[in-house]
Structure 1
Amino acid sequence: MRPEASRNPRAPRVPRAFRAAALLASAAVLALLTACSASPGSAEPPRGAATAAPTPTAAPDPFPKEPLTASTRYVAVGDSFAAGMGGGDEQGKCRLSPAAYPPVFARKAGIDLVVNAACAGATTSDLLKHQLIALDDRTDLVTVSIGGNDLGVAAIAGDCAAGKAAACRNEVTAALSLLNVLPDRLDTVYSAIAQAAPNARIVVTGYTLLYDSSDPNAPDFGTAAALNAATLGLNEVIRQAVDEQRADGKPMEYLPVDFAGHAIGDRRPWLNTTGPDVFHPTAAGYAEYASRLIQLLGKAQ
């Protein structure tokens, strides 16, 4: 049995709302100072004045740009978006589909998909309990999609798809209130994946926006806007959690995926719009995820 991932002690986490406010304030001050220094009436610095210190060299990217090879060992973990629910021909309780992005990406990239350990309905806790066993020190590449089920997206999908607008918006609001507990859960999961696969690059995939909500006169505009807002919030929490791992030197990358022109409300959506797989990508949607991975990682050389 693999020992549980240990976590290094850290300074207390600064609430993200405070951090965001501080960043905005810093940006405003920087903009003000820049505007003032560039004004026509600015005095030139006196002769002999000290020049500005050179800009520090940026830290090296912890995510190495290594080419894939035919022997690259790839493992996928995560939830229904990694399992391929909605892609067709799903098998077993985990709803694994041959159209899921892990097998499609592996085939197109020419690498070895050792296993797709993802499972529909998986939470961060489920991943820690049941999926880490698929990883080891021989794993070269990991993709992970996780976090949505921690917010109760199954209930949201059911009521929103059924047209229960009030219940849908209330559940989205409740989900947004849970975002504050997600950073620590993601931190635990990402650290555990990095420990279980110490030689692997890790790609964290985001969740695509569900709706084309560009038309404010659409009958379901309120629902679409609420769901898109929840997805944006979830993706931002995921992105920040990945950034923290990268700051610690973990070879991790966040990969956003956009179905622009193919969301619900567009002529040819890449998302299921009815039935038990509602709000999950179709085979075409998962193919887009695979294409984005190839754009990031390339193909086997």
Structure 2
Amino acid sequence: MASLLSSWLAVLVLSSSPLAAGYPRGGRHDSNFTSRNPAAVLSRRATDPTDFSWVTRWAAIGDSFTAGIGSGYQLGIPLTADWFCSRYSYSWVKILNYAFGPTVKDFQFPACSGDRTEQIYNQAINLNGPLDLVMMTAGGNDLCLATMITNCIFLAWRGEDACQQILDKAQENIDTILKDNIRDILSALNAVIKPGGYMVYSGYAPFFDTTNEDCGDLSKQYWAIKEWWWWSYWFSTPLKLTVDRRTKFNTLVANINQAISDVVDEYAADTSIKYKITYSDWSDWGAVVDGQMCSPNGVGLYPEPNQEELQFIKRNTYVAPRGYRELKRRSLDEDAHVDTHEAARAAVEQAIGGPLTEEKRKQFLDHLEAKWAKVDIYDSLLWKSRNPRAEVLHKLDPRAPSPPNCPGDDSPDPTLGLGLPDKVASNFHPNERGHENMAAFAMENLVWLRSKDLAVQDPICTVNDVFTCWQGTGKKAFANGDRMNENYKDFCDAVDKGYPTNTLNWSWRKTYHPGTQDEHEMSIQLSNGASAWDKSQCLDSFSRIINGCDGNDPNNPLDFKFGGSYVRGDYEYQVNPKHDRTLIKAMTGDCNGDYKFLWGSYTLRGSGWASSDFGQNTLLSSARSCVGGGVTKWSFDYCLDGDKSCGGYEWKATFRTPIWVRTRCFNNDKVQRGAGGSTNGVGWGQVGCSGSD
């Protein structure tokens, strides 16, 4: 495991192409994705930004995203600080601490699940400085995230208003208190990070894919927690996790990230701040690798078999098809034939001695509320935003940031500080794959910040262009060069008019002349979170592939084009002919036309010409022009990929004409040359067109 992790981080740091979905943040505007790395290998020296031997004392502060709840194994034993704060072994900062190596002598890890900026401020002022480096997450709990997930997803039984209320409160906190609270933390770090030290502030990532409504279909996925003892939710339907609701969640994440980014940029420019700071933005990566919840490729299982890159921990929300549920129920109990709601209703009606009217339902629930108030423990816990286990470790400092005042903050804690089990609390937090990617982005941003400080080239943002010609790789498919040179301009024009905006890693492809010898596909594929479009680069790239790979070749006198690939940073352009062919060095063919009393019957075969249009604009057009338009019974077929039915040629055409046109139209090669080819000297009888017509 250790060797794999070391190798993975080495690839991250020394990769010649960007791993991140976007360029590292913190005032970075000088990246050139088409540049080449001038050095094959960087030596380990003082000016190497990937050498972390300078990290001897560092710290990780923040909330559960840094504590790593649910990722790896839990640190500590019950009633210790690690246990109270739900710190885990495979958080992104623990991954980085391992990567920094043996030079680290002091790693302070006070990050605590459930902490808000007011407590993270206390983490900051209690650090033992001076430190070379601090990394952190902070701000997510100021959005009352736990209450939000409770009201809108897990216990979404209180109605639309309760959900919208907490969404509005989250946005209010972003607009009113968040930036000042972040400023308080970053200002406090000025006293513990040594002058010239570094600070990496990692953001958050949107949880949800918003492609379709499968997550909001209760027959496919069921997100609300439903247990028989939760009497207050009997006979109720939870809110659906619709695209609209998921979009609201994602928007809040985007807004908190923007607030963090704004403050980080502000502090990066503040000359009174002695350390150097950057913002690590990994928010696009989930969409890039299909790692968000509610993906169309997922069904609600966890782990999700069709989403290897799922970034977050979640409940199993999959709902088995009804037929499967009925079969399973019968296999457990042949007499069971009612669902849980029907069973519950029957039990209630038996208890009250009659039909369950709305009035009796309310009376019954009031009775249960008084009787079961102490049993309904998870409801009250999920309502609370703060981590009760962490709360026993904290006392609010009078100078600390403003509290977010989330609904449920003042509710009693039935567990006396023990809090929710981590199996529940870890939902909506990064899993192992998510923490690996948080570590990757933080490492990339640290390398960038370090290279900027050392005034050296950032090795991570240096990208190698890769130009590949298919003929050189042994491919045998080719197409007419004139057609390709016309089509790439059409392709770039079409992309320019219709490319998707605000979409990462989009692609565009189009097939030209399908079903012909000249069939070829042109494509562009974006990667690494790219979304911008440059028409001039498109035109230049395709021209280089088509005309740079093939030309001035004595073995290819007709200048056929084999295509190729041009990778320019995050953009790959490809030209792909579709049919393997034997290289043609001259336009060839044969012709025969026979007199049939009322018409002339013609058969032409050819190679190297009329290869893209089924003869419509070439052979047929030229024949009609010569014979006067009386061409009937037209048939044209290509013999693709080794088909021998054309007698060794690439196509075969048959048609009828008025009688006695062979001499003036075909035997003299007039029609054939008008179509761009020839049959002179290679047809039946070694003439332009043999036969009796």
Residues 1:231 and 2:244 aligned together: no
The one of 191, 195, 210 aligned to 1:213? 210
- Give 1:116-131 correspondences, 5 Å limit: 116-131=109-124
Higher RCO (C-alpha under 8 Å, 6+ residues apart): 1
**Partner of residue 95, structure 1:** 86
CA gap 1:124/1:286 in 2 versus in 1, 3 angstroms: same
Q: Which amino acid aligns with 1:70?
A: S
Residues 1:263 and 2:288 aligned together: no
The one of 52, 57, 60 aligned to 1:69? 52
Contact residue 101 and residue 287 of structure 1 kept, 8 A? yes
The alignment yields a C-alpha RMSD, in angstroms, of 2.8
Greater fraction of residues in helix? 1
**Partner of residue 431, structure 2:** 282
The two structures have a TM-score, normalised by structure 2, of: 0.33
CA gap 1:158/1:198 in 2 versus in 1, 3 angstroms: same
**Partner of residue 554, structure 2:** none
Q: Which amino acid aligns with 1:89?
A: Y
The one of 50, 62, 70 aligned to 1:78? 62
CA gap 1:218/1:116 in 2 versus in 1, 3 angstroms: same
* Structure 2 Cα separation of the partners of residues 132 and 286 of structure 1: 26
* Structure 1 Cα separation of the partners of residues 248 and 128 of structure 2: 36
Q: CA deviation at 1:202?
A: 0.5
Contact residue 215 and residue 294 of structure 2 kept, 8 A? no
* Structure 1 Cα separation of the partners of residues 259 and 267 of structure 2: 13
Q: CA deviation at 1:280?
A: 0.5
Greater fraction of residues in strand? 2
* Structure 2 Cα separation of the partners of residues 66 and 131 of structure 1: 26
The one of 88, 95, 107 aligned to 1:104? 95
CA gap 1:59/1:70 in 2 versus in 1, 3 angstroms: closer
Residues 1:154 and 2:146 aligned together: yes
**Higher mean displacement: 179-188 or 164-173:** 164-173
Q: CA deviation at 1:60?
A: 12
* Structure 2 Cα separation of the partners of residues 89 and 217 of structure 1: 32
SS in 2 for 1:198: strand
* Structure 2 Cα separation of the partners of residues 65 and 243 of structure 1: 25
CA gap 1:298/1:240 in 2 versus in 1, 3 angstroms: closer
List alignment gaps of at least 5 residues for structure 1: 1-57
**Partner of residue 115, structure 1:** 108
SS in 2 for 1:128: helix
**Partner of residue 444, structure 2:** 295
* Structure 2 Cα separation of the partners of residues 163 and 59 of structure 1: 42
**Higher mean displacement: 258-267 or 278-287:** 258-267
* Structure 1 Cα separation of the partners of residues 48 and 253 of structure 2: 29
Q: Which amino acid aligns with 1:226?
A: K
CA gap 1:231/1:211 in 2 versus in 1, 3 angstroms: same
* Structure 1 Cα separation of the partners of residues 181 and 164 of structure 2: 25
What do the CA deviations read for 1:152-205 (whole angstroms, capped 9, x no partner)? 112112233316162333311211011121111111111111222133200000
The two structures have a TM-score, normalised by structure 1, of: 0.72
**Higher mean displacement: 125-134 or 240-249:** 125-134
Q: Which amino acid aligns with 2:198?
A: R
Contact residue 135 and residue 199 of structure 2 kept, 8 A? yes
The one of 172, 178, 193 aligned to 1:182? 178
Contact residue 54 and residue 132 of structure 2 kept, 8 A? no
* Structure 2 Cα separation of the partners of residues 59 and 230 of structure 1: 25
Contact residue 206 and residue 250 of structure 2 kept, 8 A? yes
**Partner of residue 680, structure 2:** none
Give % identity: 22
Q: CA deviation at 1:217?
A: 6.8
**Partner of residue 196, structure 1:** 192
* Structure 2 Cα separation of the partners of residues 217 and 283 of structure 1: 26
Count of aligned pairs between the two proteins: 240
Off by >3 Å, runs of 4+ in structure 1: 58-61, 64-68
Q: Which amino acid aligns with 2:166?
A: E
Q: CA deviation at 1:67?
A: 4.5
What do the CA deviations read for 1:203-259 (whole angstroms, capped 9, x no partner)? 000001111113367522122111101111111111101111012034110111132
Structure of higher CA gyration radius = 2
* Structure 1 Cα separation of the partners of residues 48 and 129 of structure 2: 21
